[in-house]
Amino acid sequence: MAIKTEPITINLGPQHPSTHGVFRLRVTFDGEEILDVEPVFGYLHRGTEKLAESRSYVQVVTLTDRLDYVASMSNNLAYVRAVEKLAGIEVPERAMYLRVIAAELQRIASHMMATGFLLNDMGAFATPLMYCFRERERILDMFEMLCGARITLSYMRPGGVFQDAPDDFWAALDTFLADEPGYIGELESLITGNEVVLARTRGVGVLSDEQAVADSVTGPMLRAAGVKWDIRKADPYEVYDRLDFDVPIGASGDTFDRYLVRIQEMRESLRIIRQCVERIPEGPVRPDLPYNLRPPEGDAYAAVEGPKGELGFYLVSDRSIAPYRCKIRAPSFINLTPLKKMVVGWKMSDLIVIFGSIDVVLGEVDR
């Protein structure tokens, strides 16, 4: 006998821990099956792009920290590269190597959080998430050595970095590089072959390569769909063109591939950092620039391969000490575009896992 059912719409968030911030989803169900999803944001809006217009070019660095606050170094780097392009500033070679080291450490820290919270979204709280937090803490210790901060770092500056790395940073980095491959392997041994993880992720939330490209998706989400696109290779910046590393890609674009690509990228980041440590030259880390920069009239866009994808800043100068306009290309925001296509037809528990595999931070979604 057929049972008559009616669709029902419920709210998920904006206070739910599995929305990874103040994100709201209006989800329409038929029984347990998802029929429609409407993303809603606006609860965190801080007007970062508008605030940038009333701060000097150097002061804006602190605003970038608060965007993807799990990857502040990457935000710093994308912004200062846009300023340097706008003002025609040359960056010392040692500073470029330090920037790459910092950016790749940040990639590892960000991917650790993406992996830990994905497992948390599946219901496994204690072990995998705490393992990921443990390794992230070691990276934050090194960031504190570099700039005195652990989260909102403000380490990058137009023309270079705030200061050179102290001796204890290099000692801590050497220990980290020796230990981390084993810790990543330990983490993967808990997850990759786990039958519960496989059941919850294999074939779940598939994003095809055609759809990913059509929706301008970037980062691990795009590469998990089998598209070998990485700005560090396609349009190298800093010293990436001097370094040897691979770009991991997935086969099916499902939730499991998004997890596995991040694991593989952490190993490639360690490989990049080792090469930087071996090759970094002596020298200055920042040129002598006026505190209040006045770039010539014009505009510039610069992007980096952030942990979540293409992170870009578009700046317009009117020769004043502050940007006339600032526009941010935030990967967390763009990568949410195919969410509806990925979750319709699945169930609530699948939605939580699929959404978690996208890896968003609402600070840059709701900027």
Domain extent at residue 288: 57-359
Query: CA 218: distance to chain centroid?
Result: 10
Cα 24 to the chain's mean position, in Å?
Answer: 21
Six token digits for residue 316: 């317009």
152 with 27, same domain: the answer is no
Please answer whether residues 169 and 280 qualify as being in contact, where contact means their C-beta atoms are separated by less than 8 angstroms: no
The pLDDT tens digits for 167-216 are 999 999 999 999 999 999 999 999 999 999 999 999 999 999 999 999 99
| Segment 289-301, tens digit of pLDDT | 998 999 999 999 9
| 262 and 312 together in one domain | yes
Looking at the fold, whether 34 and 78 belong to one and the same domain comes out as no
Length of the chain equals: 367
Residue 117 shares a structural domain with residue 255 = yes
Is 50 a member of any domain? no
- What b/e string do you get for 136-154 counting C-beta neighbours within 10 Å, with b at 16 or more? bebbbebbebbbeeeeebb
Does residue 29 surpass a pLDDT of 70? Answer: yes
Total tally of structural domains belonging to the chain: 2
Is the domain of 144 the same as that of 25?
no
Estimate the share of the chain in helix, then strand, then coil, as percent rounded to the nearest 5. 50, 15, 35
Q: What is the mean pLDDT of the chain?
A: 95
Check which CATH number belongs to the domain holding 224 and give it: 1.10.645.10
| Identity of the amino acid at 335 | N
- Secondary structure E strands in 41-149: none
**Contacts of range 48-51, beta carbons closer than 8 Å, 24 or more positions apart:** 48/328, 48/367, 49/326, 49/327, 49/328, 49/367
Query: Do residue 28 and residue 172 come from a single domain?
Result: no
Predicted pLDDT at 1? 65
333 found inside a domain: yes
How far apart are the C-alpha atoms of 174 and 274, rounded to whole Å? 9
Q: Is 270 in contact with 56 (CB distance < 8 Å)?
A: no
Segment among 17-26, 301-310, 314-323 with least mean pLDDT: 17-26
Kindly state whether residue 150 falls inside one of the protein's structural domains.
Answer: yes
**40 and 65, same domain (yes or no):** no
- Determine the Cα–Cα distance for residues 28 and 269; give it in Å rounded to an integer: 40
Residue 366 lies in a domain: no
Query: At 295, is the secondary structure helix, strand, or coil?
Result: coil
Q: Of 149, 111, 101, 100, whose CA–CA distance to 133 is shortest?
A: 111
Cα-based angle 101, 281, 173 (whole degrees, multiple of 5): 35
Tens of pLDDT, residues 31-90 = 889 999 999 988 988 899 999 999 999 999 999 999 999 999 999 999 999 999 999 999
Q: What is the pLDDT of residues 263-294, one digit of tens each?
A: 999 999 999 999 999 999 999 999 999 989 99
Residues 23 and 100 in one domain: no
- 195 in any annotated domain: yes
- Residues in CB range of 188: below 8 A, 6 or more apart: 263
Query: Does residue 241 lie in a domain region?
Result: yes
Q: How would DSSP label each residue in 173-230?
A: HHHHHHHHHHHHHHHHHHHTT-HHHHHHHTTSS---HHHHHHTT--THHHHHTT----
- How far apart, in whole angstroms, are the C-alpha atoms of residue 220 and residue 307? 8
Whether 139 is in a domain gets the answer yes
Residue 52 in any domain: the answer is no
* pLDDT tens digits for range 85-128: 999 999 999 999 999 999 999 999 999 999 999 999 998 877 88
Asked if 307 and 110 count as a contact pair (C-beta separation under 8 A), the reply is yes
Which of 353, 325, 324 minimizes the C-alpha distance to 339? 353
- Same domain assignment for residues 157 and 22: no
Cβ-count burial of 124 within 10 angstroms (0-12 exposed, 13-18 middle, 19+ buried)?
Answer: middle
Q: What is the pLDDT of residue 185?
A: 95
- Shared domain for 146 and 230, answered yes or no, is yes
- 100 and 181, same domain (yes or no): yes
Specify whether 16 is located in the same domain as 73: no
